[in-house]
């Protein structure tokens, strides 16, 4: 069956770049990745958002934040709310495993962040993924299902509905920044499980793009793009390298063209 979901490549720059360097990096990536049919998103650090936004004027590369707080405003020193991103970003990464690990974020907080994104009109990329021991004991799917169910339950508890433009990033934690990738077939099996979990919660899962993330490079991405259930990539380290982004988006463009032709 033909796949009509968009192909998306999002770059998560993590805690890299400066306001001085970010604009030119964004400009170079935008110029090197002009491929039709691929939605491109760059997610720089908060302090670089304005530079990246300005550098991308006149391109169709979109800007994302790497996080938002789970409250709309208040006494949360050092935090940034979804509403504060108006005019700066149109996407936000939510529930990245580095924040789950380093800031102890849980699925309830992540559900609240999703609601804040909905209120602020930010398109969320919700990250889920298992730790290596969970995969080794055969609990990878149960772990991801639990993350999704708890997050969705919190969204519902707050009286919100998941947005139509939700994007999921399946990122096995053991593959992030390690140089080790999942197998394409395992990522596809997980994507199918994610869609079953979403469908069981009443969501039109066939419309939800699912990205793979975890040590994606231009040399490693084909295995994932070959899977009809995978709709692109969330790229960390390689998204700081212009040549790598050029190669990744070029390959994603082939998938987008094949989908359009089907």
By annotation, the residues acting in catalysis are 96, 171
Rounded to the nearest 5 degrees, what angle is found at the Cα of 103, between the Cα atoms of 97 and 104? 75
The residue among 133 and 177 lying less far from ligand PEP, judged by its C-beta, is 177
State the residue number with the nearest CB to ligand PEP: 236
Which range binds ligand PEP by CB under 6 A, 47-55, 203-211, 212-220, 241-249? Answer: 212-220
172 sits near ligand PEP (criterion: CB under 6 A): no
What is the Cα 189 distance to its own chain's centre? 18
Q: Nearest distance from residue 106's CB to ligand PEP, in Å?
A: 19
Q: From residue 215 to residue 244, what is the string marking binding to ligand PEP with x (rule CB under 6 A)? A: xx-----------------xxxxx------
Tell me the closest approach of the beta carbon of residue 239 to ligand PEP, in angstroms.
7
**Nearest residue (CB) to ligand PEP, 44 versus 213:** 213
Which span sits near ligand PEP by CB under 6 A: 74-82, 115-123, 144-152, 211-219?
211-219
Of 5 and 241, nearer to ligand PEP (C-beta) is 241
Which is closer to ligand PEP, CB of 87 or CB of 191? 191
**From candidates 107, 130, 154, 171, binder to ligand PEP by CB under 6 A:** 171
Q: Which of residues 2-31 bind ligand PEP (CB under 6 A)?
A: 12, 14
Summarize as ranges the residues that interact with ligand PEP (CB under 6 A): 12, 14, 171, 176-177, 213-216, 234-238
């Amino acid at each position: 069956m033909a796949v009509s979901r968009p192909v998306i490549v999002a770059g998560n720059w993590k805690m890299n770049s400066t306001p001085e360097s970010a604009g030119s990096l964004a400009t170079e990536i935008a110029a090197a990745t002009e491929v039709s049919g691929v939605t491109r998103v760059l997610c720089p650090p908060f302090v670089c958002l304005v530079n990246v936004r300005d550098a991308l004027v006149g391109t169709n590369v979109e800007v994302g934040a790497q996080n938002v707080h789970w409250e709309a405003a208040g006494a949360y020193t050092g935090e940034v709310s979804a509403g504060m991103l108006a005019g700066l970003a149109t996407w936000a990464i939510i529930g990245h495993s580095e924040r789950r690990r380093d800031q102890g974020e849980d699925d309830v907080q992540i559900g609240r962040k999703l609601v804040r994104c909905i209120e602020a009109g930010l398109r969320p990329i919700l990250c889920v993924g298992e730790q290596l021991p969970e995969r080794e004991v055969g609990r990878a799917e149960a772990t991801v299902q639990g993350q999704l169910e708890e997050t969705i339950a919190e969204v519902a508890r707050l009286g919100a509905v998941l947005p139509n433009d939700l994007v999921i990033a399946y990122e096995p934690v053991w593959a992030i920044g390690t140089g080790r990738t999942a197998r394409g077939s395992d990522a596809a099996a997980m994507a199918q499980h994610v869609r079953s979990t979403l469908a069981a919660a009443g969501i039109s899962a066939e419309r939800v793009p699912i990205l793979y993330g975890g040590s994606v490079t231009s040399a490693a991405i084909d295995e994932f793009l070959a899977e009809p259930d995978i709709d692109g990539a969330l790229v960390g380290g390689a998204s700081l390298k212009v040549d790598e982004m050029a190669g990744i988006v070029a390959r994603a463009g082939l998938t987008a063209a094949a989908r359009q032709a089907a």
